[in-house]
Structure 1
Amino acid sequence: MARITPLNWPAVRQLTSGDLFGRGPAVKSQVSEDLTARTVTADSMAHSVCPYCAVGCGQRVYTKDNKVIQIEGNPDSPHSRGRLCPKGAASEQLVNSPGRITEMLYRAPRSTKWEKLDLDTAMEMIADRFIEARRNHWREKDDQGRTLRHTLGIASLGGATIDNEENYLAKKLFTAAGAIQMENQARI
């Protein structure tokens, strides 16, 4: 580290360099000159969408060694133009939080503890329960003989953190399954 002398003070550099308002090189230190942005050292950058609300602000996700190192606003996004709210700007913490649960957890009925499941087992359990609820609550006709072909045993309550395409596919899935109770935060 260089030795600090009065000649290195920003005020002195301001007067001797002609940068009287202190908006140029006179106020830069050697430490700040030596810094490099995390985005420069990243291995790759991917375009993404902020996961928090229905606005869908564009994000640039920078990774290094298969780990997210920086998330920032995407200036090419037509509606957010590179800006993120405080939650969106802090979404890197969501990804890298040491408290983030990264495995399937299941608590059996009346159990007091969680157990770990692999993804295939969890998906099979969900599919089995979905099909059973549909089968047990299927209504082909009403009391007056009119065709219904629906179930009240399945409902969908979606959030606005998924985009329009995912909402469209969810709606098609539940409609095809015969569900008539579908609601989404984005519709309200």
Structure 2
Amino acid sequence: MNIDLSRRGFLKLAGAGVAATSLGAMGFGGAEAAELAHVRAFKLTQTTETRNTCPYCSVACGVIIYGRADEAGKRRVVHIEGDADHPVNRGTLCPKGSALKDFVNAETRLTEPMIRRAGSDRFEPISWDEALDKIARALKDDRDANLLAANEAGVPVNRWSTAGFLAASATTNETAWLTYKVVRSMGIVGFDNQARV
């Protein structure tokens, strides 16, 4: 058998052969095409969707948190994305907001109040009721001992300078206003916001 092939024809045939074997090597053969045609399940179909506010800065971006139970039955966050319906960020997130999944799933994240009792070298968990009672008692005792109700001229000042308050930034304007009013009505002078710090 004699094949009459010109130099140009040989190059065309060689190029077509290389293209065909490259496509096969990249997974575009017959069997691979049938597998690619199979539709896999969307990864978030078995998750619970929760809308929340990013806890980092004072921008208060909206986030959508997708969670599901792991093998041990513990709820885990599997995906976080910006909320496209939120008027502040419209679906975008900064690098800190995008990394919220690691923050929420961290093994070192506190999920209950802890206390280090006098003379102890470690923290131990306590109930929320006990923690709030201890905080309220400490605030009441300090305010009773250190509130300056009037200055030297007898003018009422209602000034409590031995306690401070740090407000959260991931809050609404209404909550921030209410927090400000409560803190100032108690007489606390040292008041700041986490977003500014």
Q: Structure 1's 118 and 185: CA in aligned 2 closer, same or farther, altered over 3 A?
A: closer
2:51 matched residue in structure 1: 47
Q: Is the 2:60–2:169 contact (alpha carbons within 8 Å) kept by the matching residues of 1?
A: no
- Runs of 4+ in structure 1 deviating by more than 3 angstroms, as ranges, are 6-13, 27-37, 185-188
Give the TM-score of the pair, scaled to structure 2: 0.72
- Which residue is equivalent to 2:131? 122
Q: Which has the higher contact order (CA 8 A, sep 6+)?
A: 2
Q: Percent identity?
A: 28
Q: Which of residues 19, 30, 36 in structure 1 aligns to 2:41?
A: 36
Q: Please say which structure displays the higher CA radius of gyration.
A: 2
The 3-state SS of whatever aligns with 2:189 is strand
Q: What secondary structure does 2:56 align onto?
A: coil
Asked if 2 retains the 8 angstrom alpha-carbon contact of 1:38 and 1:69, the reply is no
| Residues 39-79 of structure 1: per-residue CA shift (max 9 Å, x gap) | 2222x322111111111111111233454332111111223
Q: Residue 63 of structure 1: which of 64, 67, 74 is its match?
A: 67
Q: What CA distance in whole angstroms lies between the structure 1 residues aligned with 2:190 and 2:163?
A: 7
Aligned partner of 1:140 in structure 2 is 149
Uncovered stretches (5+) of structure 2, i.e. residues with no partner: 1-20, 70-74
Tell me how far apart the structure 2 counterparts of residues 124 and 28 of structure 1 sit (CA, whole Å): 65
- Residues in 1 aligned to 2:63 and 2:95: alpha-carbon distance in whole angstroms: 13
Instruction: Name which of structure 1's ranges 31-40 and 139-148 shifts more when overlaid on structure 2.
Output: 31-40
Range that drifts further, 137-146 or 120-129:
137-146
1:143 deviates by 0.9
- Contact 2:67–2:79 (8 Å) recurs in 1: yes
Per-residue deviation at 1:154?
2.3
Q: Name the SS of the counterpart of 1:124 in structure 2.
A: helix
CA contact (8 A) 1:136 1:153 kept: no
| RMSD over aligned Cα atoms | 3.0
Taking the aligned partners of 2:34 and 2:139, their CA distance within structure 1 comes to: 62
Question: Would the aligned equivalents of 2:57 and 2:194 in 1 still touch at CA under 8 Å?
Answer: no
Question: In the alignment, which of 162, 177, 193 is matched to residue 184 of structure 1?
Answer: 193
Ranges in structure 1 where 5+ consecutive residues have no aligned partner: 1-5, 17-26
Distance in 1 between residues matched to 2:38 and 2:140, nearest whole Å: 62
The alignment's TM-score, normalised by the length of structure 1, stands at 0.75
The letter for the 1-side match of 2:42 is A
Q: Which amino acid aligns with 2:128?
A: L
SS at structure 1 position matched to 2:139:
helix
CA distance in structure 1 between the aligned counterparts of 2:147 and 2:80, rounded to whole angstroms: 46
